[in-house]
Amino acid sequence: MTDYRRLRVALLGAGAVGSQVAALLRQHADELADRAGARLELVGIAVRNPDAPRDADLPRELFTTDAETLILGADIVIELMGGIEPARTNLLQAIGSGADVVTANKALLATHGPEIFEAADQVGAQVYYEAAAAGAIPIIRPLRDSLAGDRVQRIMGIVNGTTNYILDRMDTEGADFGEVLAQAQALGYAEA
């Protein structure tokens, strides 16, 4: 086993998406280390109710209600709580402590994106947000970095994961829109 540097990962939120992210970080730790060149160690998950049922089998000792302390000990903070507060406060605290942050929170970025990006720029932290846009298609970084010298005139497509899910089910199965939307909401793919 290669001796990789250790990056402590704090997860904020353990709903449908957060639980699966936590499970993937744990189940694929070796593969992720090989690909990232660092061992991503999930050190804790901040939630409102540590005893609530989860969509993944995760050790109870990972859960805490103390997001502030968890954030202070992290190199990377993944925010999957949704909503504006306390997500905004938690991300700004993480950035202020020198952590890089990952978020899939469209509402937060729409309302406080400039504040978050400016805070990160001031301390040299990274904000990764591809999961919040374009159905999590890895397009933002290539557009920003790889195509910086090119002039992109247009990108067309359905760039919303929920819409893609619904339209695919309607097209391939002849499913009813209302039924598929309700299923997407029940699965946590669509907001209520």
Which residues touch 85 (CB under 8 Å, ≥6 apart)? none
For the chain, what is the largest distance between any 2 Cα atoms, rounded to a whole number of angstroms? 52
How far is CA 137 from each of CA 126, 143, 173, rounded to the nearest angstrom? 19, 12, 24
Q: What is the pLDDT of residue 13?
A: 94
Q: What is the pLDDT of residue 146?
A: 57
What CATH code is assigned to 5-128? Answer: 3.40.50.720
- Show the low-confidence residues of the chain (pLDDT under 70): 1, 131-160, 191-192
Q: What is the pLDDT of residue 104?
A: 86
Instruction: Indicate where the chain has its CATH 3.40.50.720 domain(s).
Output: 5-128
Q: What is the pLDDT of residue 136?
A: 47
DSSP per-residue letters across 94-131? HHHTT-EEEE--HHHHHHHHHHHHHHHHHHT--EE-GG
Nearest C-alpha neighbor of 56 from the set 70, 66, 42, 68:
42
Q: What is the pLDDT of residue 184?
A: 85
Q: What is the pLDDT of residue 70?
A: 97
Q: What is the pLDDT of residue 28?
A: 92
Its pTM surpasses 0.85: no
Q: Quick: pLDDT tens for 53-88.
A: 887 889 999 999 999 999 999 999 999 998 899 999
Residue 58 and residue 26 in contact, taking contact as beta carbons nearer than 8 Å: yes
48: three-class secondary structure by DSSP: coil
